Structure 1
Amino acid sequence: MKNIEKYTRGYFMPPVKSLKWTEKEYITEAPTWCSVDLRDGNQALIVPMNLEEKLEYFQLLLEVGFKEIEVGFPAASETEYAFLRTLIEENLIPDDVTIQVLTQSREHIIKKTFEALQGAKKAVVHLYNSTSVAQREQVFRKSKEEIINIAVTGAKMLKKYAAETEGNFQFQYSPESFTGTEVEFSLEICNKVLDIWQPAEDNKVIINLPATVSMSMPHVYASQIEYMSDNLKYRDNVVLSLHPHNDRGTGVADAELGMLAGAQRVEGTLFGNGERTGNVDIVTLALNMYSHGVDPKLNFENIPAIISKYEKLVRMTVHERHPYGGELVFTAFSGSHQDAIAKGMKWREEEDCQYWTVPYLLIDPMDIGREYEGDIIRINSQSGKGGIGYILQQNYGIDLPNEMRESFGYSVKNVSDHNQKELMPNEIYDIFMNEYVNINTPFEYIRYQYKQNGQYETIVSLRVNNEECELTGYGNGRLDAISNVIQTQLGIDYKDLIYKQHALEIGSGSQAVSYVGITSNNGTVYWGCGIDTDIMNSSVKALFSAVNKMVTSLQLSVERELIK
């Protein structure tokens, strides 16, 4: 790569070690979640949502279970202002939900913000100004003292206008671009704001520390958060909040380690929509907690419905590989993965397990509204016998013997490879039916009769070359007698007959299915399947299916005289 020398690490480690977070194993309780979809998310859209769409999205956030929702920047545009007034005047905000609005530290903006908030039952007013070295030097060209003055002046104005406005208000301050700010300076400016607001047990203040631009590895952010948590004034009455972005692809990790480091609240969006690479994805954060047995206090039990509404309103799609929500995230195409999943699912049924431990599946897809059928195992040329057998069993009740799965697996993979496509369950079923079930050429089985005189005497009726004939044979059982007919009177040699049968329970009434494998003289195993309402007939059909596959494959010629 060129130009490496132009890049430097623009973040700041705390002045003292802050590593207590490393001693914690996992997050033990859900943070307070604040959705910023309607502000950060909306402002990042090519076409921002209109009033009706924002109202519909607000309802979606309520259904998911958010209790704090940032609804916009009411002083920024008429749509933002009208949206907030509509929520308040039409009483659309549940009593247990707090709305949040954003404002810069400028008096005319603060004044209009409180005008928009008139009559709000419960609202957070979110004040911010940028504090990083880059912003101070390049954008504002101001000293640290001047930047502190912007924050302090804004904090005083919030107190003034809140006292003059009908409503119930909580204050929040963000040193924007926190990750590019000297940690000691972030602490100084936040404490100056806290001194103005004087947080109390019944009037807590939110200090929000945004990774406005993700600049470091997640452990650095965690150390910064822990230092702030340990040194903020009025700490018992301060709610420490995170607002990670995803520039380095570490937004989720930043948030998780930040919570270990003392943060009590997280601002983010559904599926990470936001400026540039986006905000932290609350869906992933919440379901990561869920995978550890911790209730995230948000409802993603029908994630397909959430995605459908989300994609309609933001006009973007959730990527197929997006954690938890993506169409393919629970799907295995690899043969070894499919085999492990199929065996894991069977083991769960047999053992009646309390905990979810299925290989390759972090959580049970059913718990978030996904289906096993079509979601977990899908078939292409990379798939294996385990997955292919699982598809037949789950969708059609056909439980292939383990020895037969390899043979059928090759048949399916060859079709997929030849056609260069994924195969749907119905296509896999069709391949099975066409290649293995009730095969009737060159020998078409019609019926059999038997009587037992010490051993079974069995008469088998066949049709060969459009002519019907009857052959008699003997054996220890009906299937053994019929097998002897085939070998002695048709002259077809094979050995090691393998046999399995079961009821066909899915969609087939009282039908039975049988599987038979035979081994030719060259060592190749040929499989056949029979399906019939009579269990014995299904067995005979399976045997003839296997024999017909072997005869056809080896191109054996059977003289007509043998069956006269």
Structure 2
Amino acid sequence: MLQDPSRKYRPYRPVQLADRSWPDQLITRPPVWMSTDLRDGNQALFEPMDAERKLELFRMLTEVGLREIEVGFPSASQTDYDFVRRLIDEDRIPEGVWIEVLTQARPELIQRTMEAVSDAPRVIVHVYNATSPVFREVVFGQDRDGVMAMAVRGARQIRELAEANPQTEWRFQYSPETFSTTELDFARDIVDAVTEVWEAGPERPVIINLPATVEMSTPNVFADQIEWMHRNLSRRDGIVLSVHPHNDRGTAVAAAELALMAGADRVEGCLFGNGERTGNVDLVTLALNLYTHGVHPGLDFSRINDVVRTVENCTRIAVHPRHPYVGDLVFTAFSGSHQDAIRKGFAVQQEDGPWQVPYLTIDPRDLGRTYESVIRVNSQSGKGGIAYLMEREYGLAMPRRLQVEFSQVVQAWTDDTGKEVRAEELWRIFEQEYLVLEEPVDYLGHSLFDVEDRQGIRLRVREQGREETLTGVGNGPIDALLAALDADVRVQHYEEHSMGRGSDARAVCFMELSADGVPGDVYGVGIHPNIVTASIRAVISGINRIWARLPADRREALFRAGERFG
């Protein structure tokens, strides 16, 4: 049993912001995106990326449209230092892309960082120090003034080193690490001190990044903190206000969205939420959330499968199959009621109309995905999903009652095997159930002839290893067929349509039959280029299925000439 948490854990503190405005805001434009995949995401891996994998991921990040990419912590390891140098020395940074490097606010680390990016075309230098009480008191052993002095010295050193290298276009960024557990007045004061050193203004904007280094409260509290800072910072018109939410409580996406509503301009995170502990905020989910509400995120995820596979290959971490928008199963419905609603939605969805397919928040085609995996069948599925797959893959539009009947056949198969059944397996089950039954009547062929105003048929069949020709006359081919077979069955419903188009089109016929001793009606199905032949096959299919359902001692009664097919 869990112990009483009130003795061990402290409740989060709300922000006194009675006139908060963010709940009434809408996100109408995308933020500035910054990827930390190559730094924060990389340091969180069991097996950090080597240079080649980092290059592959860097290329992909630029291809999807990211223009700010944190490429490493060059003062922390030789591997990161060498990678940053390789990007610069081999001219691998595309026009318009800013590389970002991270450093703690320590003189020797700042010096090493600035050496790593010398001669780069465009660089964001990101300096940070932790500001919350537990870090001030436990980690640094300093008061507020000491922590502020550390930040100011770092900001001044970065400015001086940058001014000595005018060949590079510089941007400066500061993060009060552990912002979300820092007193707001101190967070404001330390940021104001740093922006004063950098002389932030509209012509010289700097980035102020406010991280939820460890997510400690509900997203609305983080939004209140961001709005408070947005209102109270000096030189706000010279600040790009950035957020860096982590996902310790599982609400990083919500925190980022509410932060944008509260005044943030920029979001740092990783594709698919990689990062320390439970990860950074998921940039793909954030971007596609915007997209589904009509706001283009400015990032191109139209080939999302390629993005997923690249990230998986580089990080050696699989994207969860239920990951929002991009998981292998997110466009897959196994539930019968879901499948039925999706199938009906696809049937009426207009090509250029608003997206209104039930259960699907986004058109899979917009992400370069297909509809092939939208509906799949397992033991939880119903007739709608089965019908959808059969129609989409094979052009077989089954009558509703046949959908019900066939779904019971499939259900028995899935219950028995415990497996998912794919479209090709569905077709195999359908063939075995409806198209290839040969007992008791094995159809070989037929010919029609006229008898005055009536229709005659000569039916060639095989029974008990012998070929026979049966003759019957009726009002039409089906009535003549039943007369030839002398079968005690009744036709309740008949339906036919084409499968395919042009010269390759085939007719499919559905015949609903009933017989004494068999509960309900039973379907037979026939498929053939000739409509009459398809109809005859459908009748014989239904008769054979009725015969299979009868007790052995009652099968002879199905045929009035009982001994022939007994």
- Deviation by residue 1:504-555 (Cα, 9 ceiling, x = unmatched): 2189923222211112335421111111121210111011101110012114
Aligned residue type for 1:379: V
Alignment of 1:365 onto 2:361 = no
**Structure 1 residues 547, 563: CA separation in 2 closer, same or farther (over 3 Å shift)?**
closer
In structure 2, C-alpha distance between the alignment counterparts of 1:534 and 1:440, rounded to whole Å: 20
Aligned residue type for 1:360: Y
1:34 counterpart residue number: 34
In structure 1, C-alpha distance between the alignment counterparts of 2:251 and 2:565, rounded to whole Å: 75
- Deviation by residue 1:253-274 (Cα, 9 ceiling, x = unmatched): 0101111111110000011110
Task: Give the CA deviation at 1:239.
Answer: 0.5
Aligned residue type for 1:210: P
2:433 counterpart residue number: 435
Task: Give the CA deviation at 1:501.
Answer: 1.7
**Structure 1 residues 507, 328: CA separation in 2 closer, same or farther (over 3 Å shift)?**
farther
- Deviation by residue 1:146-174 (Cα, 9 ceiling, x = unmatched): 11111111111111111112411111111
Worse-matched range after superposition: 145-154 or 4-13: 4-13
1:414 counterpart residue number: 412
CA contact (8 A) 1:131 1:178 kept: yes
- Deviation by residue 1:272-309 (Cα, 9 ceiling, x = unmatched): 11000000010111111111121111111111111111
SS, match of residue 391 in structure 1? helix
SS, match of residue 37 in structure 1? coil
SS, match of residue 281 in structure 2? coil
**Structure 1 residues 507, 326: CA separation in 2 closer, same or farther (over 3 Å shift)?**
farther
**Residues 231-246 of structure 1: matches in 2 within 5 Å?**
231-246=232-247
CA contact (8 A) 2:230 2:263 kept: yes
**Residues 13-162 of structure 1: matches in 2 within 5 Å?**
13-17=14-18, 19-24=20-25, 26-162=26-162
2:326 counterpart residue number: 325
Aligned residue type for 1:359: P
CA contact (8 A) 1:33 1:67 kept: yes
Alignment of 1:344 onto 2:323 = no
CA contact (8 A) 1:396 1:507 kept: no
Q: RMSD value over aligned CA atoms?
A: 2.0
**Structure 1 residues 142, 153: CA separation in 2 closer, same or farther (over 3 Å shift)?**
same
SS, match of residue 313 in structure 2? helix
Task: Give the CA deviation at 1:3.
Answer: 3.8
Worse-matched range after superposition: 118-127 or 470-479: 470-479
In structure 2, C-alpha distance between the alignment counterparts of 1:125 and 1:33, rounded to whole Å: 16
SS, match of residue 262 in structure 1? coil
In structure 1, C-alpha distance between the alignment counterparts of 2:458 and 2:565, rounded to whole Å: 13
In structure 2, C-alpha distance between the alignment counterparts of 1:463 and 1:362, rounded to whole Å: 54
In structure 2, C-alpha distance between the alignment counterparts of 1:18 and 1:430, rounded to whole Å: 65
**Structure 1 residues 543, 32: CA separation in 2 closer, same or farther (over 3 Å shift)?**
same
In structure 1, C-alpha distance between the alignment counterparts of 2:112 and 2:275, rounded to whole Å: 25
SS, match of residue 120 in structure 1? coil
In structure 2, C-alpha distance between the alignment counterparts of 1:508 and 1:65, rounded to whole Å: 47
**Structure 1 residues 562, 425: CA separation in 2 closer, same or farther (over 3 Å shift)?**
closer
- Deviation by residue 1:368-405 (Cα, 9 ceiling, x = unmatched): 122211x2111111110110111111112221111101
CA contact (8 A) 1:9 1:215 kept: no
In structure 1, C-alpha distance between the alignment counterparts of 2:92 and 2:466, rounded to whole Å: 80
Aligned residue type for 2:222: Y
2:464 counterpart residue number: 465
CA contact (8 A) 1:18 1:226 kept: no
Task: Give the CA deviation at 1:355.
Answer: 1.2
Which structure 1 segments of 5+ residues have no match? none
CA contact (8 A) 1:10 1:215 kept: no
**Structure 1 residues 352, 70: CA separation in 2 closer, same or farther (over 3 Å shift)?**
closer
CA contact (8 A) 1:303 1:325 kept: yes
In structure 1, C-alpha distance between the alignment counterparts of 2:66 and 2:266, rounded to whole Å: 12
2:335 counterpart residue number: 334
SS, match of residue 158 in structure 1? helix
Alignment of 1:262 onto 2:258 = no
In structure 2, C-alpha distance between the alignment counterparts of 1:190 and 1:173, rounded to whole Å: 8
Task: Give the CA deviation at 1:18.
Answer: 5.1
In structure 2, C-alpha distance between the alignment counterparts of 1:244 and 1:369, rounded to whole Å: 29
In structure 1, C-alpha distance between the alignment counterparts of 2:4 and 2:169, rounded to whole Å: 53
Aligned residue type for 1:85: R
**Structure 1 residues 44, 406: CA separation in 2 closer, same or farther (over 3 Å shift)?**
same
Alignment of 1:198 onto 2:199 = yes
- TM-score, with length taken from structure 1: 0.95
CA contact (8 A) 2:441 2:565 kept: no
2:523 counterpart residue number: 527
Alignment of 1:540 onto 2:536 = yes
- TM-score, with length taken from structure 2: 0.94
**Structure 1 residues 58, 18: CA separation in 2 closer, same or farther (over 3 Å shift)?**
farther
Alignment of 1:169 onto 2:170 = yes
**Structure 1 residues 561, 420: CA separation in 2 closer, same or farther (over 3 Å shift)?**
closer
**Structure 1 residues 516, 493: CA separation in 2 closer, same or farther (over 3 Å shift)?**
closer
In structure 2, C-alpha distance between the alignment counterparts of 1:367 and 1:433, rounded to whole Å: 35
2:497 counterpart residue number: 502
In structure 2, C-alpha distance between the alignment counterparts of 1:274 and 1:563, rounded to whole Å: 71
CA contact (8 A) 1:12 1:181 kept: no
In structure 2, C-alpha distance between the alignment counterparts of 1:224 and 1:87, rounded to whole Å: 37
In structure 2, C-alpha distance between the alignment counterparts of 1:183 and 1:36, rounded to whole Å: 25
- Deviation by residue 1:470-496 (Cα, 9 ceiling, x = unmatched): 44444443223323444xx23x23341
In structure 2, C-alpha distance between the alignment counterparts of 1:57 and 1:506, rounded to whole Å: 45
Aligned residue type for 2:390: L
2:355 counterpart residue number: 356
Aligned residue type for 1:503: S
1:512 counterpart residue number: 507
**Structure 1 residues 434, 209: CA separation in 2 closer, same or farther (over 3 Å shift)?**
same
Task: Give the CA deviation at 1:459.
Answer: 3.5
**Structure 1 residues 426, 563: CA separation in 2 closer, same or farther (over 3 Å shift)?**
closer
1:189 counterpart residue number: 190
SS, match of residue 446 in structure 2? strand
Length, aligned pairs only: 556
